[in-house]
Amino acid sequence: MSTHQPGTLAVHAGHEPDAATGAVAPPIHLATTFRHGPAGERLAGYEYQREGNPTNDRLREALKALEGGEEAMTFASGMAAMSTLLESLPAGARVLFPDDCYTGLRMLFAEFLPERCIVPIEVDMADLDAVRAACAQPLAMLWIETPSNPLLKVCDIAALAALGHAAGAVVVADNTFATPLLQRPLALGADIVMHSTTKYFGGHSDVLGGALVFARNDALAQRVAHRLHVTGGVMAPFSAWLTLRGCRSLGARMAMHCANARAVATFLSTHPRVARVNWPGLPSHPGHAIAARQMRDFGAMLSIQLHGGRDAALAVAGRLRVFTNATSLGGCESLVEHRASVEGAHPRSPQDLLRISVGLEDAGDLVADFAQALG
């Protein structure tokens, strides 16, 4: 199965017919505890849901196949995946992270990880000279997010992996925006891939989850697994089943997401009220060449910056009718949000910026909705 293309793997990996019944659709195992043998042994490899579950194991197999890793772990949320990994680092660890990144990651570095004496170092990952300078001292981890949230910056995964490894770092790539259907960071040199499976893997805005996929089942992977089992931020079986179900349509959905995003981004790039369109599929995007080299397609996330600043951005978001004004991304429905408004008291996103998750509606309707909202 591992020799097949990602779209085929998404349909079949982890979806083998049930051995007991022959059911083509996988069952949900909700049991919290499993019967022991006469000597207290685990009869089928399971003991307690927090330590392992057959439904989660199916999803883990799918994630390993899709990302090309040796080990995978599922979590209750993307934040649980990030925090469990970062809290597995030793005290005093230096971590390089992107200047444009998910707000939750920035909050971990600002509010919680300093309690563990972890030292965050912020850098523009698209600037290899800046990264090289930051790597002059030993690092424990280099964190990549490409395309980034919300400015859709693109960075060279292979080049960053080489720099990080030379500095002694474990290289982690957040692949939430791209999914393994569009980009496979482990094949480009990363050591760990992180996902908020809430987004494109689930695909329907109805299931929370996170995942880590490790290139090697090494000491760090085992340390993270132990922390997950002890601290308990595990994915529930029903969430695993919904996410696994989402995998089966991931290839088809991503193809339509990307086609719709191209139509929307192309229209917005020519509109006089739009000052900037951040989407790596546009030839004018500064990271377009890198994205074309390391991605199969350019994704369905984009952001725009409007002439007129915050007021103009809020007004356009308020006039949209097909796009729903809401946070999150990756669902069937198209979403728009004024990102600075949801980032708390000290937002990093520009006030003139709207982040857009392009969904699965008719592309013409999506373009027409922005046409009427922009006026």
293-307 pLDDT, tens digit per residue, is 999 999 999 999 999
The HSE-up count of residue 49 (CA atoms within 13 Å, CB side) is 16
Task: Write out the DSSP string of 284-341.
Answer: TSTTHHHHHHH-SS--SEEEEEETTHHHHHHHHHHH-SSSEE-S---SSS-EEE-GGG
Task: Enumerate residues 6+ apart whose C-beta is below 8 A from 219.
Answer: none
Is residue 293 part of the annotated active site? The answer reads no
6-248 against 250-374: fold identical: no
Cβ atoms of residues 74 and 235 within 8 Å: yes
pLDDT at 2: 66
Q: Would you kindly state where each structural domain of the chain is located, as residue ranges?
A: 6-248, 250-374
Out of 100, 156, 174, 352, the active site residue is 174
pTM for this entry: 0.97
Out of 199, 253, 296, 339, the active site residue is 199
CATH topology of domain 250-374: Aspartate Aminotransferase, domain 1 (3.90.1150)
CATH topology of domain 6-248: Aspartate Aminotransferase; domain 2 (3.40.640)
Ranges of the chain whose pLDDT falls below 50: 1
Cβ atoms of residues 246 and 204 within 8 Å: yes
Which residue from 50, 69, 53 is spatially nearest to 228, judged by alpha carbons? 50
By DSSP bridging, strand 353-357 and strand 170-174 are unpaired
Is residue 48 part of the annotated active site? The answer reads no
> pLDDT tens digits for 213-259?
999 999 999 999 999 999 999 999 999 999 999 999 999 999 999 99
Out of 42, 46, 50, 57, the active site residue is 50
